[in-house]
Amino acid sequence: MSEGAAPVGRPAGLAHRGGGGLARRLAWRLAVVMLAGVGLAAAAVAWRTIATIRSIDDAALQSQAQLVASQLAAGPDGRPTLQLPGTLAARFRESDDGSFFLVYGRSDHALIAWDANAAAAVGPFVPPPPATGLFRVPPSVDYPEGMLGAVIDAGPWRVVVAQTHEQSQALLDSVLHEFLFSTLWLLLPIGAMTVLIGVVTIVQGLRPLREASEAAACVGPDRPGVRLPEAGMPAEVQPLVAAVNEALARLEQAIDAQRRFFAEAAHALRTPLAVLTARIDELPTAPETAALRGDVNRVTRLVGQMLAMARLEDLPLDLTGTVDLHRVAVEVISDLAPLAIRRQVELMLTERERPPPIRGNAAAVALALTNLLDNALAYAPAGTAVEVELAAPATIRVSDRGPGVPAAERQAIFARYHRARGARPAGAGLGLAIVAEIASAHGGSVWVEERAGGGAEFTLDLGGMLRVAAAEERSGDLAPLRRSRGQGVLSRRPDHGASAAPGESRDDDARRLPISSPTQAASTIGS
């Protein structure tokens, strides 16, 4: 459980953006489909209308030809005579679009023509006998629309009725016009409604997902019991939510098991130590008793530090709390003041201004400061002062007047089981490694410098989380839980260049670089 558990709070932002995208995508596609559908429907209606109008035209022409044929009679010279009833003649007269008729004999010249000009124009295109039926006359100067005609047999004669296309064209135009306006006005609101309903459905359907994302953002090492709500979740997403919840349950079990293990380990190790300590306290004062007491103290320290280190390594640190550096410093200094007085070292806190609260784990920061002060008190000569200095935004500096740390060891002292030359025998070599681990968990770093005037000056910079927090607030993201293990640099000064800046070195190997090999570590414990 290291990098895998890192971006716990991420899904909130992703789901948010994804939801908007889905709705927008659906709206676009529906709109395109609707418009294409309207266009296709218009085209189909137009095509059908044209066909219908044409067939109406055709039928009308044929029936007119029949009417004309029924009025034909053979004259004495064998030529046909036509007695048009008034109504029929009026119909031909009134049709200003040039409906007219011709009557042919068996030869190809007209015997009767209603309109001579038109007869001349139509004549060449009349299908020769015995064909009957419809025919078309291509557009000409006099009849730019062309003409439509019908020819039927009427006894010995053939009757031709023709009309210009103007009438059918006008009808078609008006029908299309009518259709486009009335139907479009009907179709557009329906289309808009469809798009709207689709978008609303998507947005509402995704709302449970967004709620689940918010719940997921709350899951952290301190609250592994949180589960995503499954109620109201769309059926398509339910398997995902169920799977995530199962994974969360397994995570919770793992964290619980680790917690129990450490609690039991602490109990198993510390209870016999407590008995031993109490028994030694019963012994009469003697040099041997003092030596025994020193030994037990050493083992106690070792056990405490190893437990703390193991916990830091194996349990995620909850960084969602706020840390008031002033309060932490006052508490830790108060705890260590009796020790400082026994060692005749003055302990003091200076702060030019109170640093603002930061995000992190107050108990862990207190442990880090305790270890730094422990270290300083161990090396500070009697009669000198150990100074704790707080600086905004999130820096704790611990300075002493001890021998200082040689330049060559300034990185190595933060490695596990490192033993400084001349270190007091009680040291387990883990105190500063724990500080470094806590600093890196907060996205910060710790380093040591030579203090002006002699001594060591340790700086614990917890500013890394601040930057993370600021970035999150800017993006409006709810990702408070970030385990930045493997990030940050243990023991480098920030002015060593951008490559060493906290949070930029993601290389786990770089972090482990200063740590001794296991065999070395083992021999250090044994010595």
Choose which of 73, 337, 513, 525 interacts with another protein (CB under 8 A). 337
Pair type for strands 133-137 and 110-113: unpaired
Q: b or e along 318-347 (b: 16 or more beta carbons within 10 Å of the residue's beta carbon)?
A: bbbbebbbeebbeebbeebeeebeebebeb
What is the Rg, in whole angstroms, of the alpha carbon atoms belonging to the chain? 49
- Considering only residues 31, 41, 203, 349, which one is a binding residue for another protein as defined by CB under 8 A? 349
Other CB atoms within 10 A of residue 434 CB: 25
Closest distance to another protein from the beta carbon of 274 (Å): 4
DSSP 461: E
Residues in the chain: 527
CB of 440 to another protein, least distance (A): 17
- How far apart are alpha carbons 487 and 506 in whole angstroms? 5
Among 266, 423, 500, 521, the residue binding another protein under the rule CB under 8 A is: 266
Q: Whose CA is closest to 15, among 199, 202, 231, 197?
A: 202
Nearer to another protein, 270 or 493 (CB): 270
When binding is defined by CB under 8 A, the residue of 141, 231, 278, 408 that contacts another protein is 278
Binding mask 375-414 for another protein (x = CB under 8 A): -------------x--------------------------
Q: State in angstroms the smallest separation of the CB of 358 from another protein.
A: 17
Nearer to another protein, 238 or 334 (CB): 334
* Residue 77 sits in the site that holds another protein (CB under 8 A): no
261 counts as binding another protein under rule CB under 8 A = no
Question: Which strands sit side by side in the sheet containing 445-450, from one edge to the other?
Answer: 346-351, 385-391, 395-399, 456-461, 445-450
- Verify binding: residue 348, another protein, rule CB under 8 A: yes
Which of 131, 186, 200, 263: binder of another protein (CB under 8 A)? Answer: 263
What tokens were used for 397? 């500096």
- Which one of 58, 166, 346, 450 is in contact with another protein (CB under 8 A)? 346
* Options 8, 118, 364, 380; binder of another protein; rule CB under 8 A: 364
Sign of the CA dihedral running 131, 136, 140, 143: positive
Cβ neighbours, 10 Å, residue 408:
7
Asked whether the bond before 130 is cis by omega within 30 degrees of 0, the reply is: yes
Q: By C-beta, is 60 or 273 nearer to another protein?
A: 273
Residue with tokens 């050493």: 298
User: According to the binding rule CB under 8 A, does residue 131 interact with another protein?
Assistant: no
**262 scored as a contact of another protein (CB under 8 A):** yes
Q: From residue 123, how far is each of 9, 59, 103, 113, 394 by CA, in Å?
A: 88, 21, 11, 11, 105
Estimate to the nearest angstrom the gap between the alpha carbon of 400 and the chain centroid.
50
When asked if residue 45 is in the footprint of another protein (CB under 8 A), the reply is no
Query: Which range touches another protein (CB under 8 A), out of 146-154, 232-240, 248-256, 279-287?
Result: 279-287
Instruction: Specify whether the CB–CB gap between 211 and 227 falls below 8 A.
Output: no
CB of 483 to another protein, least distance (A): 16
Alpha helices by DSSP H, listed for 343-458, are 362-379, 431-441
Q: Which of 186, 188, 193, 274 binds another protein (CB under 8 A)?
A: 274
Piece of the chain touching another protein by CB under 8 A; list 70-78, 111-119, 305-313, 401-409: 305-313
Binders of another protein in range 307-336 (CB under 8 A): 307-308, 311, 318, 329-330, 333-334
Interface with another protein includes 106 (CB under 8 A)? no
280 or 423: CB nearest another protein: 280
Interface residue list for another protein (CB under 8 A): 262-263, 266-271, 273-279, 281-282, 296, 300, 304, 307-308, 311, 318, 329-330, 333-334, 337-338, 341, 346-351, 361, 363-364, 366-367, 388
